[in-house]
Amino acid sequence: MPRILLADDHGLIRDALPSAIRRRVPRAQFECVGTAADTIAAVMRREWSLVVLDLGLPGGTELETLRHVRELRPALPILVFSMFPEAKMGVAAIEAGASGYLCKTADRATIGAAVAETLAGEGYRSVRLRELLAKRARERHGEAAALSRRELEVLIELGRGRSNKEIAAGLGVSVTSVGTYRTRIMEKLGLRTTADLLRYVVEHRLLRE
C-alpha cells in the first residue's frame, strides 16, 4: 500500500489531506510532519511512495527543503502543495526537482487526482503550469534545444510512429520512463496532441538521416 509523507506546517491541512487523497488512493497510509528538519529526518528514516510537500515549512527556504529531499531520494515522487500560484513558484519548483505542483486552492477531487497521477509516475501539472513550462523552455533555450539528448531520441522515435513499448525496448529503458520523457517533450515544446508532435518532427526535419 502507498506510504505518503505529508509535510505541512498547518495542522488543519494535515488533518484534511488524508480524506481527500483516499478518495482516489483508498489504501494510502500517512505520516505527517510540520518542519523542514522533520521532513528530512522522515525521508532519511524510511522509504516513501510519495511526499506531499509545502514550500513554506519552518526551518527552510521556499525551495531548500525540496532540493534537499530530491538530493537524498532522486527517484522519490514529490508533489508540491503550495499556497503560491503556479505563475509565482510552479516553474521554479519543477526545475528544483518536484514531480508535480498543486495550489492549495484546489478542490478535493483535484487533490486526489493529483496524488494518484503522481504516484503513477505521471507527475501532476495543471494546464496553466504546462503553458508556463513551455514558455520558460522556449525563452531559455528555444524549441528543440531545450530537450535533453534522451528526450530528443524519444521525440525522433515517436516521429517514426513507434509505440512507447517499442521505444523502451530500443533505448533500453522502461515504458514508464518513455511516458515521462514524452510528457516532458510535450511540455517543453508547447505541444498538446500526438498530431502536434508528429507535425513538429516533420516541420523541423528531425527524421533526416
- Domains within the chain, CATH numbers bracketed: 3-125 (3.40.50.2300), 131-203 (1.10.10.10)
- Residue 95 CA to residue 129 CA, distance in Å, equals 12
- Residue 173 CA to residue 169 CA, distance in Å, equals 7
One pLDDT digit (tens) per residue for the chain, 209 residues = 999 999 999 999 999 999 999 999 999 999 999 999 999 999 999 999 999 999 989 998 889 999 999 999 988 999 999 999 999 999 999 888 899 999 999 999 999 999 999 999 888 888 888 888 777 766 655 556 567 888 888 998 998 899 999 999 999 999 998 998 998 888 888 788 888 888 888 767 677 54
**Taking the CB of residue 56, how many other CB atoms lie within 10 A of it?**
15
Crossing angle of helices 175-189 and 127-140, in 10° steps, is 70
- Residue 159 CA to residue 139 CA, distance in Å, equals 24
- pTM value is 0.69
- Residue 131 CA to residue 118 CA, distance in Å, equals 19
Q: What are the two backbone dihedrals, phi and then psi, of residue 87, each rounded to the nearest 5 degrees?
A: -65, -25
- Per the listing, cell 508533489 goes with 79
